Amino acid sequence: MGGVPLGNEFSIVTDEDANAILEAAWSAGIRYYDVSPWYGLGLAERRFGYFLHNKKRSDYIISSKVGKLLKASKTAHNRDLFPFSPSPNDVVFDYTGPGVRRSIEDSLQRLGIDSLDIAFVHDLSPDNKLLPTPWEEQFKIAMRGAFPELTRMREEGIIKGWGLGVNRPEPILQVIELADPDVFLLASQYSLIDHKNALNNVFPAVRQKNVSFVIGSSLNAGFISGSPRYNYGKDSYEIPPAYIEKRKRLRDIAANHGVDLRTAALQFSAAPDVAAALVVGVSREHQILEDYTSMQTKIPAEFWTDLKSQNLIEQNAPTPV
């Protein structure tokens, strides 16, 4: 379960509703949770922590992010970044060794737990327009600081593994040659709408290093299931016409086979052999139950055959059995 919506990224979710969503997820058997200081500038971590801190730590897996430190301020510009979050925090990008250690310590305090399973270096990527200097310069800082420090923290037992959580392939392809990551959060790169580059370039390179992926944004921030936005950011409502047309064609074929397109999208993103987990955000209690049901639903093989015959998915794309 992803933490973006519980950070009030898209709309206001009350504390009561957030707790009900987490309760529903736990009752459904969901045991992997992905959060970040960035999501609501601390709000999501506090909410997940409120729910999880009394659970047995060995009963669930949790990942968070590093690279963005939070600092409370009476003049914080938080509303510019998260207009629906009540957070008093500003964000400071910090990919140094001390910075990522501080970030993890802060996250553990907000979560009320003593260790993370996975730490993802967050948004160290060409698409991040908020970085203080070009991403290549920030990557060099991480090479000297964040990456070796995370390896040390893994050896200390504070985390079990680390990697990158990014929306673009370039940093992933670089870091697998220069450091020793364990897993990546592949966001906005492998969905029914857009998967060619990840399938043919990123997956083969990472497979050789025996590294796996957590797949995020399989619905492209809800676009596949009907949202008027595509992925994230202030420009998310400027959707390429080709994507809108592709969604329409996908819907038509899904209807012909009696398939729920959202269900097909989730299962498609979970199908590759390098996919260790699927992270899906929810903002309503019923959505997490629908997600769980979707992953148990059988989709006819003919549906996937039709998608390939009409070149809507790559011919070599793995599909659910």
H-helix or E-strand containing 45? helix 43-52
Is-catalytic flag, 140?
Answer: no
Question: Structure tokens of 299?
Answer: 């989709």
Is-catalytic flag, 60?
Answer: no
Q: What is the largest CA-CA distance in the chain?
A: 58
Quote the CA–CA distance of 74 and 58 in Å, as a whole number.
38
Residue with tokens 């819907």: 251
Both ends of the chain: CA-CA distance in Å? Answer: 23
E-strand ranges in 118-235 read 118-122, 161-166, 183-187, 212-216
- Catalytic residue, chosen from 17, 32, 33, 39, is 39
Is-catalytic flag, 34?
Answer: yes
Type of residue numbered 119 = A
- Do residues 159 and 168 lie in contact, with contact meaning Cβ atoms separated by under 8 Å? no
The SS3 call for residue 82 is coil
Type of residue numbered 141 = I
Q: How far is CA 130 from CA 34, 68, 73, 203, in A?
A: 22, 11, 19, 28
- Catalytic residue, chosen from 15, 17, 33, 34, is 34
Pairing of strands 61-66, 32-34: parallel
- Catalytic residue, chosen from 32, 59, 60, 65, is 65
State the catalytic residues.
34, 39, 65
